[in-house]
Amino acid sequence: MSGNQARLTAIAGITTRPPVDVDMPLPLKKIWADDVFNLATMEECLSKSAFKAMKKTVQTGAPLDPGTADVVAAAMKDWAIAKGVKFFSHIFYPMTNVTAEKHDGFIVTNADGAAIT
């Protein structure tokens, strides 16, 4: 079978499959974006002054001072670790007109300083 014929056969197989019913444990609106450090989560995790500054930045593009940025970063990290997060990523838009994604992980060390996660 040629490569093109194999591709066409695969497509035909996909398009003739019957739909599969999926029994969702919860409605999607209850779990979609559940693990997002959004304004509602920030309001719970930040001091009133830090939340006010962050909200102004999000809504108006106002600069965020480095001290507040550090407070927000620490709160986000604590929130994520409390949820059991080991790795995280975020998308950003460098000044090259393309997107980029950064992946990182939290490292926990033992008493001797050796990494355990």
Domain residue extents for the chain: 3-105
Note the helical H segments in 1-117.
3-15, 28-31, 39-45, 48-60, 66-82
> Residue 39: which residues within 8 A CB-CB, separation 6 or more?
54, 55, 58
Query: What is the chain's Cα-based Rg?
Result: 22
Closest Cα partner for 71 from 44, 100, 51? 51
Q: What average pLDDT does range 104-108 have in this prediction?
A: 80
Residue indicated by tokens 């979609």 = 32
pLDDT reported for residue 117: 62
Between 97 and 64, the more confident residue is: 64
pLDDT reported for residue 45: 97
Q: Which residues pair with 90 in a beta bridge?
A: 102
Q: What DSSP character marks residue 18?
A: P
State the amino acid at position 77 in one-letter form. K
Q: What average pLDDT does range 79-88 have in this prediction?
A: 89
Q: Per residue in 14-67, pLDDT tens? A: 999 998 888 888 887 777 777 889 999 999 999 999 999 999 999 999 999 999
